[in-house]
Structure 1
Amino acid sequence: MTLLPEDSNLTEVKPAEALGNQLFPVFLKLNNLHTVLVGGGNVGLEKLTALLQNSPVAAVTIISKDFLPAVHTLVATYPLVNVVQKSFTDTDLDSADIVIAATNDSDLNKYIRQSAHDRKLLINVADKPELCDFYLGSIVQKGDLKIGISTNGKSPTIAKRLKEVLGEALPADLDITLQQMNEVRNTLSGDFTHKVKELNRVTAVLIGGQKPPSNKNLKLLVWGTSIAFLLIAIAALWYKEPAFRDYVETISPMFYYFLGAGFLFALIDGAIGMSYGVTSTTFSLSMGIPPASASMGVHLSEIMSNGIAGWMHYRMGNVNWKLFKLLLLPGVVGAVTGAYLLSSLEHYAQYTKPVISVYTLILGFVILSKAISINRKRTGGKIKKISLLGLGGGFIDAVGGGGWGSIVLSTLIAGGRHPRFSLGTVKLSRFFIALMGSLTFITMLNSSHWDAVAGLVIGSALASPVAARISNKISAKAIMFSVAVIVILISIRSIINFLIKVI
């Protein structure tokens, strides 16, 4: 038995017969090697595609008497690929470093293998594991990160399925983390032991260990802005709104209704990243609150709840800062514009209310469609016009009292962005958008529904820390189905009641 040092990360070496897959994984620098591929049919095309996808500057010579047109189409954009239309001879391997046999002639494949071995070359023979010196495994790639998958030649189908699963599970932003870690590594000084300790400390967050250092400036900005705004808003409303002073003195039962509703809607929103605005607005309209006042209540409550949730997501490393910057300013502009327009129409609430109900009905179906397709593979490219998405999302959210999550978050995820980073970014940007929209509503309105507003504010704030923690622990599909059905039914009820009154 081999004795190993106590700090070794190696396990005891077992006899060969006790092992299963005895393959040793390696990654070849094909750009420094000459690969000879024999075969120009479907199998040859498949092998060539795999080589070029992983090593676009690989030097490859492909030899065959006949070629599929797709082979010529593929190699047209790869100048280092040389196509030779001829029968194979063993001298074709004189300059080779690695060989792949992909013909449909088993005798020819065996001859190619013998020629390769005569020259001490490694060879892969397509669909013949027993003749192979190495396998071309399935590859999962995220930028500079590559993961090779091998089934020891037993089942290429399983390898491909695992490739699909890992490809969807690993976030595209993982390459950003890899590049950042490389930068951290390059800045470290000291001996090897010190560098290892520092890298262990930085990467501990990836497995739920030590958290990254807090950004005190951002923390002070979020909490300071929230507290200062609430104090200013309370003072201004106390002197401006007699109804607000009356509310403080006498608590209305409406407060408790909205307190529970705000808490429940914030929990749902934390689990699926959307629907707080649409559920709160739908509930407010059903309770007789005018559209502009309902939207104001939603935005006021979202200042505290999204500030807390955004901070929690920041602490968990769920914020994409580049995406945050692209969403923030256009979202604020859209929210202020929408809030101003809706507040100007407050006197026509009996007409705007059914319009908003139609909007919430549409959002209900949007959420339902997302619930149906939540597990489907996304094939669309990433959304490029992020600023335009933020502008439209902010405007519609202010006019309809909700939709930022339903529109912006769902669009980002449908476009291929990672759900967790999209959720954290949308939550943090929502804090500032809700803040500016609320200031616009307060300036424009003289509302008398402060019991509902206060209930939403306190209820959602109480739920926010819990909601951020459970965002990855609850079945989003079941919740989305439930929310969609409730929103659709209540919106239809509101529209029918309006039509009855008109008729």
Structure 2
Amino acid sequence: MIDLFIAHFSEILPFILIGFGAQMVDGALGMAYGVISSTLLLALGVPPSRASASVHAAETFTTGVSAISHILHKNVDWKLFARLIIPGVIGGVTGAYVLSHIDGTFIKPFIQAYLATIGVYLIWRGFHFPPHKRDPKWVTPLGLFGGFLDATGGGGWGPVVTSNLLLQGSSPRHTIGTVNTVEFILTTAISLTFLLHLGWETFTTYTVGLLIGGVVAAPFGAMLARHVAPKVLLVSVGIVLTLTSFYGISKWF
């Protein structure tokens, strides 16, 4: 009995660690859960289709726990939340609807090049200018585009929305918390049809491991976003955004 438990635990442990690490980054910086977890799953030899399905299913639950944690830590700007939620869901649902008719993969390198440029700028700005909070002006079109890209490209809400809000001078802590909280509703809206279609087959060892690790890490990510200095958050977002974008570009080439 004990040997059987150890065997099952050793099988699921790598996926728990992946889920934990990916969610720590995502919860603290508002992006990169999908990129990190998918990349590491593929590196472990998980088939691409299974990796995508597992990450998508686990993210539906981890974003919920992350949202609750950010709310409890008072990281959410409810005014910004209200401005993002409707256009984000509309963009996400629209993207999910047209996904079978439009191939959005050809624009991904251009989006990633744009995000890499923003990442470099955020790093530079973090070292040269202390961030001053300003209310962002471009929110509705950003929510629409971020939601649409997330649905059609299998990710992009965090990198696109978080980085552009920071670019407009929004508070790093409240931007990260708000974008994570909106992402839970957005992910649920996009994923519901796919989860119902895939059924319980989606919940493989990969999914369970990612789910356990992500749920455990979610409160710590929100805690970091609350207590880490805005300048450090700004530079960290820039670094993660730049690295993941360059990875996507190199993968395309």
| Structure 2 length-normalised TM | 0.74
Partner of 1:309: 66
Q: What is the CA distance between 1:256 and its match in structure 2?
A: 4.0
Q: What's the offset of the Cα at 1:294?
A: 4.9
Q: Which amino acid aligns with 1:311?
A: I
Q: Distance in 2 between matches of 1:329 and 1:494?
A: 33
- Give CA-to-partner distance per residue, 1:345-393, whole Å, 9 cap, x none: 8xx9xx95x8767765764554344333334436997433422211111
Separation of aligned partners in 2, 1:379 and 1:477: 11
- Give, in whole Å, the separation in 2 of the partners of 1:299 and 1:405: 14
- State the 1:280 CA deviation: 3.0
Say if 2:20 and 2:214, in contact at 8 Å, map to a contact too.
Answer: yes
Which among 194, 197, 220 is matched to residue 466 of structure 1? 220
CA–CA separation in structure 2 for the residues paired with 1:421 and 1:265: 20
How far did 1:396 drift?
Answer: 0.9
State the match for 1:388 in structure 2.
141
In the aligned structure 2, how far is the partner of 1:282 from the partner of 1:341? Answer: 26
Distance in 1 separating the partners of 2:109 and 2:38: 9
Change in Cα spacing, 1:490 to 1:371, as seen in structure 2 (3 Å) is same
User: Does residue 122 of structure 2 align to residue 370 of structure 1?
Assistant: yes
The Cα offsets for residues 295-337 of structure 1, whole Å up to 9 and x where unpaired, read as: 5444432333222222222222222222211211221222223
Q: Where does residue 75 of structure 1 map in the other structure?
A: none
Give deviations 1:72-112, integer Å, cap 9, x for gaps. xxxxxxxxxxxxxxxxxxxxxxxxxxxxxxxxxxxxxxxxx
Residues in 2 aligned to 1:488 and 1:417: alpha-carbon distance in whole angstroms: 22
Give yes or no for the alignment of 1:414 onto 2:170: no
**Counterpart Cα distance in 2 of 1:393 and 1:294:** 22
Establish whether residue 424 from structure 1 lines up as the match of residue 177 from structure 2: yes
Aligned mates of 2:160, 2:17 — CA distance in 1: 25
Task: Indicate conservation of the 8 Å contact 1:299/1:435, yes or no.
Answer: no
8 Å contact from structure 2 (residues 83, 140) kept in 1: yes
Pick from 199, 209, 228: which aligns with 1:455?
209
- 1:419 deviates by 1.8
Residue 464 of structure 1: how far off its partner (Å): 0.2
CA contact (8 A) 2:28 2:221 kept: yes
Q: CA deviation at 1:420?
A: 1.8
Paired letter, 2:252: I
Give ranges in structure 2 of 5+ residues lacking alignment.
1-6
2:34 matches 1:277: yes
* Long gaps (5+) in structure 1: 1-249, 497-503
> Residue deviations 1:226-268, cap 9 Å, x none?
xxxxxxxxxxxxxxxxxxxxxxxx9698754432222111111
Instruction: Quote the Cα distance in structure 1 between the aligned partners of 2:118 and 2:204.
Output: 30
Does 1:259 find its partner at 2:11? no
2:252 & 2:13 partners in 1: Cα distance?
26
CA contact (8 A) 1:282 1:360 kept: no
Give the C-alpha shift of residue 271 in structure 1.
2.5
Does the CA contact (< 8 Å) of 2:119 and 2:239 recur in 1?
no
What letter is aligned with 2:87?
A: P
Query: d(CA) in 1 for partners of 2:110 and 2:174?
Result: 31
- 2:122 maps to a residue whose letter is K
CA 1:410 to 1:277, structure 2 compared with 1: closer, same or farther past 3 Å? same
CA distance in 1, matches of 2:85, 2:157: 12
8 Å contact 2:67–2:177 — kept in the other structure?
yes
CA distance in 1, matches of 2:52, 2:122: 24
**Corresponding residue number in structure 2 for 1:175:** none
Asked whether the equivalents of residues 328 and 429 of structure 1 are also in contact (C-alpha less than 8 Å), the reply is yes
Where 2:159 maps in the other structure, the secondary structure is helix
Residues 1:487 and 2:244 are matched in the alignment: yes
Aligned to 2:4: none
Indicate conservation of the 8 Å contact 2:126/2:235, yes or no: no
Total equivalences in the alignment: 241
**Alpha carbons of 1:371 and 1:289: their partners in 2 closer, same or farther (altered >3 Å)?**
farther
Question: Corresponding residue for 1:54?
Answer: none
The whole-number CA distance in structure 2 between the counterparts of 1:263 and 1:411 is: 26
Does structure 2 conserve the Cα–Cα contact (< 8 Å) formed by 1:265 and 1:279? yes
CA contact (8 A) 1:296 1:401 kept: no
Which structure features the higher share of helix residues? 2
* CA 385–296 in structure 1, closer or farther in 2 if over 3 Å, else same: farther
1:296/1:315 CA distance change after superposition, 3 Å: same
SS in 1 for 2:169: coil
Which structure carries more strand by proportion?
1
**What is the aligned-residue identity percentage?**
34
Distance 1:427 1:380 in 2: 19
Q: Output the CA distance in 1 between the equivalents of 2:233 and 2:133.
A: 21
Taking the aligned partners of 2:155 and 2:70, their CA distance within structure 1 comes to 21
Answer 1 or 2: higher relative contact order, Cα 8 Å, separation at least 6. Answer: 2
Q: Distance in 1 between matches of 2:149 and 2:26?
A: 18
Paired with 2:88 and 2:145, the residues of 1 have a C-alpha distance of 7
Within the candidate set 173, 176, 191, 1:438 is matched to 191
Normalised by the size of structure 1, how large is the TM-score? 0.41
Q: Aligned to 1:373, what secondary structure does the other structure show?
A: helix
Distance 1:278 1:289 in 2: 15
Aligned-partner residue type, residue 181 of structure 2: L
Please say if residues 255 and 452 of structure 1, whose CA atoms lie closer than 8 Å, have aligned partners that are also in contact: yes
- Flag the 1:487–1:386 CA change in 2: closer, same or farther, 3 A: closer
Q: Which one-letter code corresponds to 1:327 in the other structure?
A: L
